[in-house]
Amino acid sequence: MRLRTLFYLTLPPLLLAAWAGHVFLGDKKQTPEQALLADYAQRIAIARAATATGNYQEFTKLGNLLRLAPAPLRNGPEALKWLRKAADKGYAAAQLGLGEMYEQGQGVKQDYHRAAEWYVLATRLSKDSVAYFRLGELYLKGHGVAQDYSKALANYQIAAAAGHPVAHYILGTMAESGWGMDRDLIAAYIHYAIAAAQAPAVTAYHQEFNTQAAKARVTAAMNRSQVDFAEKKLATMPK
């Protein structure tokens, strides 16, 4: 009986997605943009049908699809509804999604304070590197919270330990500049080197973040023994 119910819940959205693809197609070959919209519409339809299971992960998936969809398919109010359903039950991934909605003004009025509140909740329930990174960003810039380099540093360090490449780059900047810590060129070198190994991800976040240039800059300010020490320390760190 449950399978039959799920089938009938799933069928209408799938038919809608197929219809959307047909409308985009018409009598002509689809453009790349039309194909993207048709594919995304189908993903939304499948995700919406999956929410019938009552699973918080499915609620979160639909909410994130709706908030990040191409403009014609984006639906902030509905995204907010599904993410809140999961977030209010303590699902950290949904809390992270809500934080990003408020921080970036995705379908809601931009509100850094509310973003910080959701990020704090997400970090209490998980070790998700993105949640810690986002919270670190708010403390670094003083958005929605009092600017606090020490708290920014602590959150970036957790994010970096969990593998966030941009967190490593910013920790390099903080160590090089002495923000929230004593200036430490060896630490800066190590963080920049780790970030450089994932340079495309760092540049995708911010095109002005040049890992190789940053590493070269601190190298020029270090002596040979400092560079050797940093390289030896890098070699002993887990990959």
Q: Is residue 53 within a helix (H) or strand (E), and if so which, with residue range?
A: none
Higher pLDDT residue, 94 or 20?
A: 94
What is the overall mean pLDDT for the chain? 89
- Residue spans of the domains in the chain: they are 165-239
Phi-psi region of 97 (alpha: psi -120 to 50; beta: other; left: phi over 0): alpha
> Do 10 and 32 form a contact (C-beta atoms < 8 A)?
no
Distance CA 147, CA 141 (A): 6
pLDDT score at 4: 44
pLDDT band at residue 127, thresholds of 50, 70 and 90? confident
Share of the chain above pLDDT 70, in %: 88
Q: Within its chain, how far is the Cα of 108 from the centroid?
A: 18
Q: What is the pLDDT of residue 164?
A: 95
Q: Are 138 and 119 in contact (CB under 8 A)?
A: yes
Other C-beta atoms closer than 10 Å to the C-beta of 11 total 11
pLDDT of residue 28: 63
* pLDDT number for residue 15: 42
Which of 89, 142, 95, 88 is CA-nearest to residue 117?
95
Amino acid at 138: L
Return the residue matching tokens 């995705």: 106
- CA atoms of 191 and 167, how far apart (whole Å): 9
- Tell me the Cα Rg of the chain: 22
Q: What is the pLDDT of residues 76-96, one digit of tens each?
A: 999 999 999 999 999 999 999
Single out the residue of 11, 44, 41 nearest to residue 23, CA to CA.
41
Model confidence at 199, in pLDDT bands (50, 70, 90)?
very high
Model confidence at 39, pLDDT cuts 50, 70, 90, reads very high
Mean pLDDT of 203-227: 96
Instruction: Name the residue among 227, 205, 207 with its Cα closest to residue 215.
Output: 227
pLDDT at 6: 45
Mean pLDDT within 124-143: 94
Please give the distance of CA 77 from its chain centroid, rounded to a whole number. 20
pLDDT at 3 > cutoff 80: no
pLDDT over 70 at 20, yes or no: no
Degrees (nearest 5) of the Cα angle 92, 137, 107? 60
Q: How far apart are CA 202 and CA 197, in angstroms?
A: 10
Predicted model pTM: 0.83
